[in-house]
Amino acid sequence: MVTEYICWDCEKGYRPQDLQRAAKILKQHGLVAFPTETVYGLGGSGLCPEAAKKIYEAKGRPSDNPLILHISKSEQLPMIAERIPDVAYPLMKAFWPGPMTLIFHKNKCVPHEITGGLETVAVRMPSHEAARMLIEAAGVPIAAPSANTSGRPSPTTAAHVREDLDGRIEMIIDGGAVNIGVESTIVDLTEDIPTILRPGHITKDMLQQVAGEVRMDAGLLGTDSDRKPKAPGMKYRHYAPRAKMTVFDGELDVVVKQINDRAREYPAAQVGILASEETADSYTHGQVVSVGSRNAGTIEQGLYSALRLFDHKGVEVILSESFSQEDKGEAIMNRLMKAAGQHIIYLSRE
Ligand code: AMP
Ligand code: MG
């Protein structure tokens, strides 16, 4: 298959004929990758089992890992969700359109192929104009997981999507680099208390200010070792570069010293160091990649690009700094730890 490329420009938007072609592909159950504010999505018609199958195939995604349905206006919600609890309304008012996904009981018109066999459905209204216009033009909710090969870091540019899916899908819409850089916060509203199944840019504090009590899924916190995360996707090794990665946690100067010492155990070409702007100059050996600035808060945006860059550099080992767990740091550390297969070394000052 030859993948067609079109552009969305933040000032000029789409060329009308391009938007029509993209919508037509979706209506005919083909696949279109498009930018959202979180990461690029791989879109297919949201109520169609055939499109769902194609999404799983193109990504190589396990079929028990359900897809998120993307809508462009709240009126589309009753078509796909049932028994919407009262707490949903203030949450949607506060955070939609935006990087929050809500889990509801599914309506019968949502096929099980979309929900990985579950009786619940994940729904999000993205704020990115290109995504909203595409959903609108397609006239149906769009199923859209991240537009990467399953297991690889999520794409934050169209070039990342091309790396993984060129020749496997009908179209890629290039809207430049995304804004946020990590996937949406997933909140389960089918429980008595809203429960975060995946941390994201919308933090627990932000949700609590609107919805009252909110809790973290026990499987995510690791406090209940018998419980698997309730979002099926969270149990897979994920977001991962090809090299084996270790995260070092502790006071920053101790971490930098330890990474410098360990790096020297490898040839410089084979060892990657995931650093921040504030520390990058402290490393003297290895392939140093700065993920962004701790002080300016740009780590979230740069994380997946940095992980992919290590693949391009062909390193065999990655030694990574760790970042604050506070606030938006929760999402960053959740993704970083998954990329590292949960491999972390805690350091203390001697
Ligand atoms: P992605 O589309 O790559 O951002 O992945 C979607 C995430 O949403 C995965 O972690 C899924 O397991 C999760 N998800 C989708 N639908 C549901 C659902 N009905 N219940 C729980 N988690 C879900
Ligand atoms: Mg994904």
The vertex-76 CA angle with 75 and 77, nearest 5°, equals 90
146 lines ligand 1 (CB under 6 A): yes
CB 296 within 8 A of CB 319: no
CB 33 within 8 A of CB 169: yes
Please count the other Cβ atoms lying within 10 Å of the Cβ belonging to residue 119. 12
Instruction: Dump the DSSP string for 305-347.
Output: HHHHHHHHHT-SEEEEE----STTHHHHHHHHHHHTTT-EEE-
Q: Report how far residue 208's alpha carbon sits from residue 216's, in angstroms, rounded to the nearest whole number.
A: 12
Side chain identity at 297, as an amino acid letter?
A: G
CA 216 – ligand 1 centroid, Å: 15
pLDDT tens, position by position, 11-39 = 999 999 999 999 999 999 999 999 999 99
- The token pair at 188 is 């389960």
The vertex-263 CA angle with 273 and 285, nearest 5°, equals 75
Side chain identity at 159, as an amino acid letter?
A: A
In sequence order, the β-bridge partners of residue 123 are 69, 102
- The atom of ligand 1 lying closest to the CA of 232 is 12
Q: Report how far residue 266's alpha carbon sits from residue 67's, in angstroms, rounded to the nearest whole number.
A: 40
233 lines ligand 1 (CB under 6 A): yes
CA 285 – ligand 2 centroid, Å: 33
Q: Quote the pTM value.
A: 0.95
pLDDT tens, position by position, 164-198 = 999 999 999 999 999 999 999 999 999 999 999 99
183 lines ligand 1 (CB under 6 A): yes
- The token pair at 109 is 């018109």
340 lines ligand 1 (CB under 6 A): no
The residue nearest atom 15 of ligand 1, judged by CA position, is 66
CA 68 – ligand 1 centroid, Å: 6
Please state the rounded mean pLDDT for residues 294-320. 96
CA 16 – ligand 1 centroid, Å: 32
CB 26 within 8 A of CB 32: yes
- The atom of ligand 1 lying closest to the CA of 122 is 16
CA 101 – ligand 1 centroid, Å: 9
Report residue 222's pLDDT band, with 50, 70 and 90 as the boundaries. low
- The token pair at 40 is 């690029």
Is the pLDDT at 337 greater than 50? The verdict is: yes
- Longest Cα–Cα distance of the chain, Å, equals 65
Please state the rounded mean pLDDT for residues 312-323. 97
User: First and final CA of the chain: distance in angstroms?
Assistant: 58
182 lines ligand 1 (CB under 6 A): no
Q: Report how far residue 170's alpha carbon sits from residue 191's, in angstroms, rounded to the nearest whole number.
A: 38
Is the pLDDT at 203 greater than 80? The verdict is: yes
